[in-house]
Amino acid sequence: MKRISLVVLILCASLVSAAWGEQQACKIHTPVGWAEFHRYNMQRWNPCERVLGVNSVGNLGLKWSSATGNSVFYSSPAVASGVVYIGSQDHNVYALKASTGTLLWNYRTDEAVYSSPAVVNGVVYFGSYDHNVYALDASTGAKLWSYATGNQVESSPAVANGVVYVGSTDNNVYALDAKTGAKLWSYTTGYIVTSSPAVANGVVYVGSWDHNVYALDAKTGAKLWSYATGNFVEFAAPAVANGVVYVGSDDRNLYALSARTGAKLWRSHTGVFSSPAVANGVVYFGSVDFNVYALNAETGAKLWSYPTGGSVFSSPAVANGVVYFGSYDNKVYALNAKTGAKLWSPAADFSVGSPAVANGVIYFGSDGSNVYAFGLK
């Protein structure tokens, strides 16, 4: 009896500690934004959202839409300090006022911007098809530095501990000094890197078109391990949670790998294409089979799936019990994270990209030229 009581006490203490840690993180990041493709927790989950939820999301309405000059499907919005940042195939990165959609500034590169911006310490980082990684002043759009890789940069940067990590189609993963853009190291994979890195516990996790998932030492770039999937690890970015790396491959499998060793824990054959989101012990992702799936993060067992009218290339975002994503059926969806029940689903002008959820508003771009913001009516 004493042993059981001790186990329960330890478990309760662990849960309290985790909850306290989450609360502190939310305080640190207040007002709560969505500053990178993965957010600071590397999982496309906003644990700090309190406005939108299962009981209120059905009351969402269009707050504003803002037109760019071309598709904003591939670049997922970043939201920080009252500003929405997004890249467009019209060669620009845009900064829009989060409350109204008013254009604050735009910065033009020489080619399309598919990369999702990361906003850290007042600087916007992103990649362009013109081969460069850029750092801009978040307030003014003034260029602080650029770094030329050997080819197009579709990968979305991850910024951690003063370092920018990003992949390039020149087959390399780069680590750049966030202040100066100086190269700290690069690691050459066997093929192009369009996957976006995730950084957790001093390790960079990234996929390559050479079929492998890599774990690299964040300080040195030394390879810690690699895991071979059956096809390209193309656009799906790894998510890291509780010592596990979740990543999709073009072999139609979602893999769960040990973050420490790369050993396969489980895989699910579901046609995964999007980057996964991980929240509260569940992995959410979209598939080319028109479905969104929720799997048990520990075992890979299917909890539920929801059918849409098109392929789901959009990477889900999870906040306060709701899963948000877009589909090639020209709709955006909000589902109950526990049950998969549809809560809200307005039509858009074109296919909808990967959303961000912050401060009671959902932001997303489409394969048309518009950026959208939906909030409570």
The pLDDT value recorded for residue 283 is: 97
* Residue 148 domain flag: no
Burial 323-348 (b: 16+ CB within 10 A, else e): bbbbbbbbbbbbbbbeebeebbeeeb
Among the listed residues 362, 365, 364, 366, the one whose alpha carbon sits nearest the alpha carbon of residue 375: 362
Give the tokens for residue 340.
Answer: 């998969």
DSSP 14: H
* Residue 181 domain flag: no
* Residue 161 domain flag: no
Domain count, the chain: 1
**191 touches 233 (CB < 8 A):** no
State the Cα–Cα distance between residues 132 and 20, nearest whole angstrom.
Answer: 40
The pLDDT value recorded for residue 14 is: 40
* Residue 216 domain flag: yes
Could you tell me the CATH number of the domain that includes residue 35?
2.130.10.10
Among the listed residues 63, 72, 114, the one whose alpha carbon sits nearest the alpha carbon of residue 359: 63
Start-end of H helices in the chain: 2-28
Q: How many residues does the chain have?
A: 377
The pLDDT value recorded for residue 236 is: 86
The pLDDT value recorded for residue 8 is: 37
* Residue 255 domain flag: yes
In the chain, count of helices (H) and strands (E)? 1, 33
| Cβ atoms < 10 Å from Cβ of 102 | 11
**318 touches 337 (CB < 8 A):** yes
The pLDDT value recorded for residue 16 is: 42
DSSP 32: P
How are beta strands 92-97 and 264-269 bridged, if at all?
unpaired
How many CA atoms lie within 13 Å of 9's alpha carbon, on the beta-carbon side? Answer: 6
What is the distance between the terminal CA atoms of the chain, rounded to a whole angstrom? 53
* Residue 167 domain flag: no
Helix (H) or strand (E) holding 363: strand 361-365
* pLDDT one digit per residue (tens) for the chain, 377 residues: 334 344 334 334 443 444 444 455 565 544 568 999 998 789 999 999 999 999 999 999 999 999 999 999 999 999 999 999 999 999 999 999 999 999 999 999 999 999 999 999 999 999 999 999 999 999 999 999 999 999 999 999 999 999 999 999 999 999 999 999 999 999 999 999 999 999 999 999 999 999 999 999 999 999 999 999 999 998 889 999 999 999 999 999 999 999 999 999 999 998 888 899 999 999 999 999 999 999 999 999 999 999 999 999 999 999 999 999 999 999 999 999 999 999 999 887 788 899 999 999 999 998 889 999 999 98
3-state helix, strand, coil in the chain (%, to 5): 10, 45, 45
The pLDDT value recorded for residue 9 is: 42
Maximum CA pair distance of the chain?
Answer: 69
289 burial type by CB count under 10 A (0-12 exposed, 13-18 middle, 19+ buried) = middle
* Residue 141 domain flag: no
State the Cα–Cα distance between residues 172 and 159, nearest whole angstrom.
Answer: 17
The C-alpha torsion from 174 through 175 and 177 to 180, rounded to 10°, is 0
Q: Please give the residue range of the domain that contains residue 231.
A: 31-109+200-376
**326 touches 363 (CB < 8 A):** no
* Residue 100 domain flag: yes
Give the tokens for residue 85.
Answer: 């940042």
